[in-house]
Structure 1
C-alpha cells in the first residue's frame, strides 16, 4: 500500500481531508481529483518513477504533490527552502533529481541553481526556465504498483556532525510510524491535525500522510507564525499540532492554546523542564517525543500525565520499536546506566542514499546506532541526555552538555544556552557554554551553576551572544559555538 490516498478515497470520499488557513476545504474526493491532475501533469513531463525534488513550504499544493509522487512511484526529496542556491546544488546532485517542483515564493531560488534539471511550479510560471504545472495537459498514466519496502522518500539530515546525509525511507517506514503513533496518541474521527512544520522535516511531512491513513483532516498554514497558528487552532477546532520547542514557547508567550487540543506532539529538539512545567500549569496536553529522520519520526513519546509527573522523560518506546542501550564496550547496560541508544523495528530507514560506508557504520546486529546517549529508569521510561560525540570528557569524568545547559537555563536571566567541550592541556577537555539572555557576568553564571552542578561539570569558559548559531534546519551549530567561545569566552 503505497498510495494511501487512493485507498482512503474509496473508504470515506466525503470526509474532510485538507483545510487551508484561508478557509478552503477539500474532501477526500476533491483532494483525490486534484492529486490525479497533478500526477497526470508530472507524467506528461516524463517524471513517473523519478527522483523528484520539492522546494515548497507546507501548503495545499504540497500535500497534493506528496500524494501525486506516491501515485506515480516517484521518490520524493523535499528540500530546505531556507538554503541558498549554492547549498541546494549539492543536495540536488547527491539526490540524483530528475526535476524540481517549486512555488512562486521559491522560483527565484530554483532558477538560480547551477544544475540543469527542469523546474516546474505549482503556481503561475512568471520566470523564464520555469514551467507552470497548470499549463501542462495531464497525460494518461498507470498508477505505480510499488512495493511498500521500496524507496519512497529522501530527507536530509541536519549535518551538525558533518556533511548532511540523505535518509532513504520506504512507505512501510512511514506507515509503520503512523500506526505506532496512533496507538500512543489515539485517533478520533473528528481529529484535525495542524501542521505548521516544513515537509523537509519528518515532523512536517508525516501529518498529511498520517491523516490520509486515519481518514482525518490536516490543516496547513504555509509556515509558522504564533498569532496565525493560535488563530488557526481556535478557528478550525484543531485537536492536534506538531511543534518544536521554540514554536511552543512562542505560542505560550503569545496567548492561550485552543481548548479543542487533544495532543501537542513536541519534538525536533530537547524540551526544557521549564517548558514542560509551563504546559502543566496551563493545561496544555504536551507529548514530548524523541525521534529522528532515520526512524521516520517518533521512537518514544510520553503522554501528558507522565510528562508532568516525570519532567524530562520522553516516555516509553512506541509499539514495534525495539530500543537497546549499549555501553562503551558494546554490551547492554543496567537500568539507570547511560549508554548509546540503538533502535530497531519497522520504522527504521533502509540506507543513506549513495553512501554505503555511512550506512554500514550506522548499523550493528542490535539495529541503528543513533549516536544519542540516554538511560531507562526502573519503570522503562526513556531519558535522553545528549549525543555520544558531544559528551565532554574532563579529567576522566564524562559531562552531559544537556545537563549543564539545563542548569544554565534555570538562571532567571538565561533564555538559551549551548554547551560544548573545549580542548584543555590539563584536563583534556573543559566545559564551555555560550549563553543567550539578559546577563553578561560570567562569574555570576558560574556561581549559579555551583549550586546545581558538581565541580567537574562547571563551565570554565562562558561566552554571551544575542542568539545561538544554527544550521538551516534550526539545529544549534556546535562547531560555530565552539569557535565563538574560543574567540570571546571568559
Structure 2
C-alpha cells in the first residue's frame, strides 16, 4: 500500500487515471511518469521519508504530489488553504514539516508563515525564497517501503472544541477504508469519481488515493461552482461524486444531475430530511454517510433505498467496522436508546501526533470514543443526533441539538439552523437556535416546533442570519452561534 500507483500501473497502464480542468486526461502510465519526475525533484531537494506539507487546492498537481509523497515514503500533511498564515503557523510547527509545497495561489500565504520551512511550488512564482519544482533536476532515488502500520497522512481535525489536533492515518487505515467503501458503494473499474472537495479533508483526499487502488478514474474539475460541476458530471460521464450538503443543495438548485451518476456520497455534515426527500423525488442516488478524520472517512453509509425509506439514517457500519453505542456507565445501551458512538476496526487512526494525552483520552478497551451521540434502530441502522459535548441539559432533561436542527430544517422556509445551549438562571440551560431562511418571525418558528417537539426541547431564544458561521473545515462554529444568540436573540 506504500505506493498504490506503482502497482496500479502494472495492472492497467492504459486506463484513464485522471481528468483535469478543461478535459486533459492522463493514463495510469502517464500519471506514473509525472509522479516519478516530481518525486525525483523532491528527492533532489532532500525530501524523502519526511513530513511533507501540502498547501494546494484540489487540482491535478495535488494528485501528483499525493502519489509522489507515497513513493518517497513521506508523511503527507495537507494544510487548509483557507487559513491565514497566523493560523497555519501552529499547524506547520506542530506537524514538524521538513518542507512545504504550494502553488501560485497559495505562495503569498507560504512566504508569510513565521515558521521557517523550505518551500517549493508546483507553479512559477515571483517569490525568490520559493523553489520552483520544475526548475529542479530530478535525482535518482529508491522507492520507499513501509509497513502497513506506518504513518501515511496527517490531517487536522475541525477544532470545534479547541485547537485542531493532527490525526495520524496509516497505510492500512487508508487501504481498509477504500476496501470497505468499495463494497458499500459497489465500485467497478468503469467508475469515474468527481472530486470537488479539498484534500485537507479526508473526503477530498480519499478519491485520489482510492482511484489508484481501484483502477478507476478521478475527475478533478477545479474550484467548486454548481453550474460548472453539473457540466463536468455530464461531460465526463461521471458515475460518482463526493459532496457536503451545502454543495448538493446548490447543485439541485442549479439544474439536473447527470443520468450517469450511480452514487452521491454525502457527508461532512448532517443532511436534512428535506434534502434527502428532494433527492428521492429527483432520482438522485444519494448515499448519506457518517464518518470522520479519525476513521479515514466513512464509518456508516446508507444506500439510496435505505436512505429514502428511513429518512435521517446514515445506514449501517461498513465492512470490518465495529460500532458500539455506550451509555454513561460504559455499557451498551438498548436498541433505540441514545449513547456515545464508539468505533473500532482497521480504519481507526493510530493517534494524535505529538499528543499522547489526547490519544489516551480518546480510546478505551471498546475503541475510539467519537464524542458523537446517536442510536440504532431495530433494523441495525444508525442515527446520529449530535455531539456528546453539545448535549443541552435543561431542567434535568437532555436535548440533542441535532434533533432540534432537523425539525427546524424540515420547515419549508428554513434552509439551515444551528442549535446550542445557552445559560439560563432557572433551567441551567435553554435551547437556542440561529436560523437561516426566508423567515424572520421567532414565534412562527416556535409554533412550528411546538407541534413536533416536547416543550422542554423548544428553542427559547431564536435569531436569524443569512448563513451559519462555520469553522475553516466547514462545521458549524458553535461558539459564534452562541455569541450571536446571546447578543441578538429574541
| Structure-2-length-normalised TM-score | 0.99
Q: Provide the residue aligned with 1:302 in structure 2.
A: 302
Q: What displacement does 1:357 show?
A: 0.3
Cα distance in 1 between the residues matched to 2:33 and 2:163: 40
User: Secondary structure at 1:22's aligned position in 2?
Assistant: helix
1:94 matched to 2:94? The reply is yes
Contact 1:198 1:223 in 2 (8 A): no
Q: Provide the residue aligned with 1:276 in structure 2.
A: 276
Cα distance in 2 between the residues matched to 1:272 and 1:237: 28
1:345 matched to 2:345? The reply is yes
User: Secondary structure at 2:189's aligned position in 1?
Assistant: coil
Q: Provide the residue aligned with 2:244 in structure 1.
A: 244
User: Secondary structure at 1:467's aligned position in 2?
Assistant: coil
Contact 1:21 1:232 in 2 (8 A): no
Q: Provide the residue aligned with 1:66 in structure 2.
A: 66
Q: Provide the residue aligned with 1:254 in structure 2.
A: 254
Q: What displacement does 1:403 show?
A: 1.1
Q: How many equivalent pairs are there?
A: 490
Q: Provide the residue aligned with 2:359 in structure 1.
A: 359
Return structure 1 stretches of 4+ with deviation > 4 angstroms. Answer: none
1:438 matched to 2:438? The reply is yes
Q: Provide the residue aligned with 2:55 in structure 1.
A: 55
Gaps (5+ residues) in structure 1?
none
User: Secondary structure at 1:329's aligned position in 2?
Assistant: coil
Cα distance in 1 between the residues matched to 2:90 and 2:307: 40
Q: Provide the residue aligned with 1:154 in structure 2.
A: 154
After superposition, give the CA deviation of every residue in 1:25-51 in whole Å (9 maximum; x if it has no partner): 000000000000010000000010110
After superposition, give the CA deviation of every residue in 1:288-307 in whole Å (9 maximum; x if it has no partner): 00000000000000000000
Q: Provide the residue aligned with 2:463 in structure 1.
A: 463
Cα distance in 1 between the residues matched to 2:11 and 2:467: 49
1:417 matched to 2:417? The reply is yes
Q: What displacement does 1:354 show?
A: 0.4
Gaps (5+ residues) in structure 2?
none
After superposition, give the CA deviation of every residue in 1:197-226 in whole Å (9 maximum; x if it has no partner): 000000000001111001111000222110
After superposition, give the CA deviation of every residue in 1:244-303 in whole Å (9 maximum; x if it has no partner): 000000000000000000100000000000000000000000000000000000000000
Cα distance in 2 between the residues matched to 1:379 and 1:82: 41
User: Secondary structure at 2:104's aligned position in 1?
Assistant: coil
User: Secondary structure at 2:23's aligned position in 1?
Assistant: coil
1:318 matched to 2:318? The reply is yes
Cα distance in 2 between the residues matched to 1:12 and 1:269: 36
Q: What displacement does 1:415 show?
A: 1.4
Alignment of 1:17-28 (within 5 A): 17-28=17-28
Q: What displacement does 1:229 show?
A: 0.6
Contact 2:436 2:468 in 1 (8 A): yes
Q: What displacement does 1:173 show?
A: 0.2
User: Secondary structure at 1:361's aligned position in 2?
Assistant: helix
Cα distance in 1 between the residues matched to 2:202 and 2:410: 31
Contact 2:301 2:318 in 1 (8 A): yes
Contact 1:432 1:485 in 2 (8 A): yes
Cα distance in 1 between the residues matched to 2:376 and 2:307: 15
Cα distance in 2 between the residues matched to 1:321 and 1:178: 13
Contact 2:18 2:218 in 1 (8 A): yes
Cα distance in 1 between the residues matched to 2:413 and 2:259: 31
1:208 matched to 2:208? The reply is yes
Q: What displacement does 1:438 show?
A: 2.1
Q: Provide the residue aligned with 2:392 in structure 1.
A: 392
Cα distance in 2 between the residues matched to 1:51 and 1:149: 16
Q: What displacement does 1:312 show?
A: 0.4
Cα distance in 1 between the residues matched to 2:355 and 2:184: 34
After superposition, give the CA deviation of every residue in 1:436-479 in whole Å (9 maximum; x if it has no partner): 12222111211111111110000111111121111111111001
Cα distance in 2 between the residues matched to 1:114 and 1:54: 17
Contact 2:272 2:410 in 1 (8 A): no
Q: Provide the residue aligned with 1:380 in structure 2.
A: 380
User: Secondary structure at 1:137's aligned position in 2?
Assistant: coil
After superposition, give the CA deviation of every residue in 1:383-419 in whole Å (9 maximum; x if it has no partner): 1111111111111111111111111122222211100
1:328 matched to 2:323? The reply is no
| Structure-1-length-normalised TM-score | 0.99
Cα distance in 1 between the residues matched to 2:38 and 2:243: 29
After superposition, give the CA deviation of every residue in 1:42-74 in whole Å (9 maximum; x if it has no partner): 000001011000000111100000000000000
Cα distance in 1 between the residues matched to 2:245 and 2:142: 43
Cα distance in 1 between the residues matched to 2:48 and 2:299: 33
After superposition, give the CA deviation of every residue in 1:111-138 in whole Å (9 maximum; x if it has no partner): 1111111110001132221110000000
Q: What displacement does 1:161 show?
A: 0.6
User: Secondary structure at 2:175's aligned position in 1?
Assistant: helix
Q: Let me know the Cα RMSD of the aligned residues.
A: 0.7
1:42 matched to 2:42? The reply is yes
Contact 2:273 2:410 in 1 (8 A): no
Greater shift in the superposed pair: 135-144 or 125-134: 125-134
Cα distance in 2 between the residues matched to 1:414 and 1:208: 35
User: Secondary structure at 2:10's aligned position in 1?
Assistant: helix
Q: What displacement does 1:423 show?
A: 1.1
Cα distance in 2 between the residues matched to 1:320 and 1:366: 15
Greater shift in the superposed pair: 232-241 or 439-448: 439-448
